[in-house]
Structure 1
Amino acid sequence: MGTLFDLAKYRKAKSFVHFDRTELMRLMNIYSQQVASGAWRDYAIDHLDGMAMFSIFRSTHETPVFTVIKLGPEHKNAGLFLALHSGERIKQSSELSKVLEAIEKRARKVVPLFKTKS
């Protein structure tokens, strides 16, 4: 007879990375300012293996304009935040504030395109 092994013990445990409350509040603060100006309309929060992503959309049916990624502990760049603009990396930092500054700087350039003259 053979020996039974519990394969669940040998699987690599997936880590669940998420944005904490303060990080999420800062992300939503910037998002709400841009929604109020009419530049952004939708967002999505995704949890992949070892990372959390906050994606921002101009329209529901488009690809993300901006994405903030938080990398988990098993990633080689553990604890880093990445900012992507249309899939291109624009900033990488261990501080969320620096990443958000890069997004705000790019967002300011986009907002005037959407404002209408009164």
Structure 2
Amino acid sequence: MGVVTPFPASGRPGQIGFDRPELNRILDLYGRMVAAGHWKDYAMELGRDAAVFAAFRRAAERPEFRIEKRPALRNRQGMWALIGEAGQVVKRGHELGPVLAPIERRLMKLVED
């Protein structure tokens, strides 16, 4: 038999990323917003301090929302933050679900119209 080399679990050392359940939750919301015709594009940035998921109405403008994961803030305000288009913090918390709630409420309004 050959030697099996283990796959690195988190990419580069010190890089922050999204876990599979977190990314599934974010991409599920993104897919529903695309189906409603509201979002058109997204981008992800995985860095040493934070992992950021940005959702765009159109590709050539600022993101409408950014979902940030900053583990350094885990014991303070919470590691999750929802940042609006102008850079204001819309919601911050310790768990992803409540942080995504304002977008999900907006989706309900979009479908209701």
Partner of 2:62: 63
Partner of 2:4: none
TM-score of the pair, normalised by structure 2: 0.76
| Aligned counterparts of 1:81 and 1:97: Cα–Cα separation in 2 | 10
Counterpart amino acid of residue 80 in structure 1: M
Q: Displacement, 1:71?
A: 0.5
Counterpart amino acid of residue 70 in structure 1: K
Partner of 2:99: 99
TM-score of the pair, normalised by structure 1: 0.73
| Aligned counterparts of 1:36 and 1:82: Cα–Cα separation in 2 | 24
Q: Displacement, 1:15?
A: 1.9
Partner of 2:79: 80
SS in structure 2 opposite 1:91? strand
- Calculate the aligned-residue CA RMSD, in Å: 1.9
Distance 1:71 1:99, change over 3 A: same
Decide which moves more: 79-88 or 17-26.
Answer: 79-88
Greater Rg by CA: 1
The number of equivalent residue pairs is 96
Higher relative contact order (CA 8 A, sep 6+): 1
Gaps of 5+ in 1: 1-13
Gaps of 5+ in 2: 1-12
C-alpha contact 1:83 1:103 (8 A) present in aligned 2:
no
Counterpart amino acid of residue 42 in structure 1: D
Distance 1:61 1:108, change over 3 A: farther
| Aligned counterparts of 2:59 and 2:66: Cα–Cα separation in 1 | 14
Q: Displacement, 1:107?
A: 4.7
Q: Displacement, 1:67?
A: 0.6
Runs of 4+ off more than 3 Å: 106-109
